[in-house]
Amino acid sequence: MFVATKTLLHKAQQHHYAVPHFNVNNMEIVQGVVQAAVEARSPIILATSQGAIEYAGMQFLHAIVSTAAQTSGVPIALHLDHGTDLDIIKHAIDIGYSSVMIDASHFDFEKNVALTSKVVKLAHAKGITVEAELGTIGGVEDAVSSRHILYTDPAKAVEFVKRTKCDFLAVAIGTSHGAYKFKGTAKLRLDILGKIKKHVSIPLVLHGASGVPPSLVTMAEKYGAKLKGVEGVPDIQIKAAIKTGICKVNTDTDLRIAFDAAVRKVIKEQPQDFDPRHMLGPARELIKDVARKRMKLFGSENRC
Ligand code: G3H
Ligand code: 13P
Ligand code: ZN
């Protein structure tokens, strides 16, 4: 069933676990994640980035996710991830997304406040909630880790939430998007998170949270992937972040590596087989396995 993102996150906040946010781009990823949620009895947020929308089409993604929501029996929210384009944000609100993210974190504070406030007004008028971002979560800019992280300032976070009236806040505490998150020791700034949590009452979101599990990396590399130097957020730090106040955790990279590893395996081991279902079926299974492990880690199992 389709549910409001706010309902999922407020319940998670109250009971000290995190709702898994998974990025989805196609039917097999949606099915793998949803099958895991059904087995685990976990609520989930399925998210489409603007890149996913460009790839698959918003209407297709909405249709796939709403079919999954109608047939699965677990609470599912559909979320626009890292919205930067106002037309796409408006379209998502109109088509029936549960929530949207406005990511104006690359602008200065005042412009971020202005753009976020604008989206909040548009979305709230239609009963849709808004995630915003303050600080800068790093990202991959080339094959190697290239991070530019500007930690969220706790005092600014209080002012930002008060002025924009956003519903959920993505914080920058040392994570970055992609598979190359750390050079050396992985370290999240839980001290900063603790200060934000103390003064900000809305649900807090952790982006760039993939664990990049060594077993998946080994599998992908065995069948030809080149992933030297990849590093994710250790499980123990994800747990600590949830304990400190995070109640939505975003995962994309782990699903990508799983998909990649499974497809590579079939291509390498069965070179005579050209049936796409024989590649995408195992990819869906491995996605399910990865999603299931994330649910266990986040404490979202048996919450519905
Ligand atoms: O946060 C970013 C997600 O991993 C989406 O990535 O823009 O390549 O779809 P994408
Ligand atoms: P990862 O790249 O760590 O999976 O992060 C995904 C994300 O934050 C999507 O918004
Ligand atoms: Zn993100």
Note the pLDDT of residue 144.
38
Q: Which residues of the chain have pLDDT under 50?
A: 141-146
What is the atom index within ligand 1 of the atom nearest the CA of 207?
A: 1
For residue 179, what is the domain's CATH number? 3.20.20.70
In degrees, rounded to 5, the angle at the alpha carbon of residue 99 between the alpha carbons of residues 97 and 105 is 130
Is residue 115 included in any domain, yes or no? yes
Distance from Cα 191 to the centre of ligand 2, integer Å: 22
Is residue 11 included in any domain, yes or no? yes
Ligand 1 pocket check for 256: Cβ under 6 Å: no
- Closest-CA residue, ligand 2 atom 3, reads 208
DSSP 196-257: HHHH--S-EEE-S-----HHHHHHHHHTT---TT-B---HHHHHHHHHHTEEEEEE-HHHHH
Per DSSP, the three-state class of 83 is strand
How many domains are contained in the chain? Answer: 1
Note the pLDDT of residue 264.
98
Return the C-alpha torsion angle 263, 267, 270, 275, nearest 10: 70
Ligand 1 pocket check for 23: Cβ under 6 Å: yes
Ligand 1 pocket check for 131: Cβ under 6 Å: no
Q: What residues line ligand 2, using a CB cutoff of 6 Å?
A: 23, 81-82, 177-178, 207-210, 250-253
Note the pLDDT of residue 147.
57
Distance from Cα 290 to the centre of ligand 2, integer Å: 14
Is residue 93 included in any domain, yes or no? yes
Distance CA 304, CA 286 (A): 23
Per DSSP, the three-state class of 180 is strand
> pLDDT for 129-166, tens place per residue?
999 999 988 775 433 344 577 899 999 999 999 999 99
Length, in residues, of the chain: 304
Residue 22's domain comprises 5-298
**CA nearest neighbour of 180 among 232, 110, 141:** 232
Is residue 303 included in any domain, yes or no? no
What is the atom index within ligand 2 of the atom nearest the CA of 81?
A: 10
- DSSP E strand boundaries for the chain: 19-23, 44-49, 76-83, 99-102, 129-134, 168-171, 204-206, 246-251
Is residue 304 included in any domain, yes or no? no
What is the atom index within ligand 1 of the atom nearest the CA of 178?
A: 4
Q: How far is CA 207 from CA 75, 155, 169, 278, in A?
A: 21, 20, 10, 32
In terms of C-beta density within 10 A (0-12 exposed, 13-18 middle, 19 or more buried), how is residue 196 classed?
A: buried
Note the pLDDT of residue 140.
53
* Phi-psi category of residue 207: left, alpha or beta, with phi > 0 → left and psi -120 to 50 → alpha: beta
Counts for the chain of helices (H) and strands (E), in that order: 12, 8
Note the pLDDT of residue 184.
80
DSSP state of 304: -
Q: Write out the catalytic residue numbers.
A: 81
Is residue 111 included in any domain, yes or no? yes
